[in-house]
Amino acid sequence: MLNELLDEINDKVLFLLNEQYSSKNLIENEVQKYFNLVNNDLELLKYPETEHKINYSIFIEIVNRANIKSIHFINYQKYKNPTEFVLKNIIFEGLTLLCNIIKYFNKYSNILKNDINMYNLSLNEFSKKVPCYEEYVRKLQGYTMIIEKKLENLPKSTAKNTLSENMAIDDFKFDGGFEKAYNSLLNLDQTILLTIISFNISICNSTNICGSKNENSDVIISAYNENNYQTFLQYINFFDNDVYKTKGIDWNFIKNYFIKNNIDLPSQNTLDIENLCCIEDLNKRQEYVGIIGGTNIKVKSKKKFTKKSHKNKRNKYRKTRKTRKTRKYKNK
């Protein structure tokens, strides 16, 4: 439980450090303190055999050394799990609220322009000792309610990708649900699979034309290609990203990954036109990626045509290697 909570805090911090926003320098150093706190000072909390070595008193000392905002630790010492409460309901809650507010102002800056002073205040106070952390969280909760109240009556975004055979980053308007579906428990195989499914949804512009065609079918087919997949990965900031655990990974790595695993990159030749934009099915596959065993979803692998004699030899060879397992994915 505590291990998962620390990982959750760590992911939020990474997202916060990774994103770009105005006045980022005001809180970047402070966020780094939390990053160091959960990854270095609280490292022992991640292991059951050493967890007892950090009691609540030691935890308080560690947090105070991190020079973060003041916390009234004494108010929680009689709680059943005071350490977890402080981490989840104070530190993690503050980071989450601030991250959400930053995203709101990035996405709806025109609508929230009259609230810019509130926004700047929330950033400035994050880097100071006052108010105490509990009061800071309370303020952020109030700011969030004000913002969400203004946004709740907005029509849902109808922005669509500008599809073409050669799309630019600016032609992408949404990520096909990649960020929402991603979680830190995914391994690299699952993350790459998630990008393929999300790219498919993105290219379909959420238009459900499963098993049929409409006026957009041809342009969707044209847009489903290797070049646009590469651009999509750039659009979601996939490459060399600590958040997605892709540090050191570039497009050449991705191409070699597909070759090594005998998987086709997106192309018109491998697209299952009959299931071109089955959005409901694609959404389910997206959700399944994060479930244990989710990598069993298959992506269409490269077809190999062999003569019958070669095929018989291959089958005979496979029987001698009963323990051999091969990975295949099916991409729609």
Render pLDDT for 204-218 as a digit per residue (tens, 0 to 9). 988 888 877 777 788
30 is in which domain, residue-wise?
2-151
Check residue 302 and report its DSSP letter: P
203 with 174, same domain: the answer is yes
pLDDT exceeds 60 at position 319: no
**Inside any domain, residue 324:** no
Q: How many CB atoms lie within 10 A of CB 24?
A: 14
Together in a domain, 201 and 122: no
Does residue 20 lie in a domain region?
Answer: yes
Sign of CA dihedral 7, 9, 14, 15: positive
Higher pLDDT, 107 or 76: 76
Q: Is 296 a member of any domain?
A: yes
Q: Give the SS3 label for residue 163.
A: coil
Q: Indicate whether 120 belongs to any domain.
A: yes
Looking at the structure, tell me whether residues 175 and 79 fall in a common domain. Answer: no
Residues 66 and 113 in one domain: yes
pLDDT single digits (tens) 237-282: 999 888 888 989 999 999 999 999 998 899 988 777 777 788 889 9
- Separation between Cα atoms, residue 11 and residue 7, nearest integer Å: 6
Work out the average pLDDT over 117-132: 80
- 73 compared with 83, residue with greater pLDDT: 73
Give the Cβ contact number of residue 116 at 10 Å: 12
User: Is the domain of 193 the same as that of 139?
Assistant: no
Cis ω for the linkage preceding 131 (within 30 of 0) = yes
Round the CA-based radius of gyration of the chain to a whole number and report it.
Answer: 24
What is d(CA 274, CA 259) in angstroms, rounded to the nearest whole number?
26
Alpha-carbon distance of 193 to 329, in angstroms, equals: 8
- Name, in order, each residue with C-beta under 8 angstroms of 132's C-beta and a sequence gap of 6 or more: 69, 70, 71, 72
Q: How many domains does the chain have?
A: 2
Q: Is residue 287 part of a domain?
A: yes
218 and 288 together in one domain: yes
Residues 140 and 218 in one domain: no
The Cα–Cα gap between 238 and 201 comes to 17
Residues paired with 301 in a beta bridge: 263
- Say if residues 304 and 326 touch (Cβ distance below 8 Å): no
Claim to verify: residue 185 and residue 147 sit in the same structural domain: no
Determine how many CB atoms are found less than 10 A away from the CB of residue 176: 29
The mean predicted confidence, pLDDT, of the chain is: 78
Distance CA 303, CA 24 (A): 49
Choose one of 120, 151, 182: the last residue of a domain: 151
Q: Is residue 328 part of a domain?
A: no
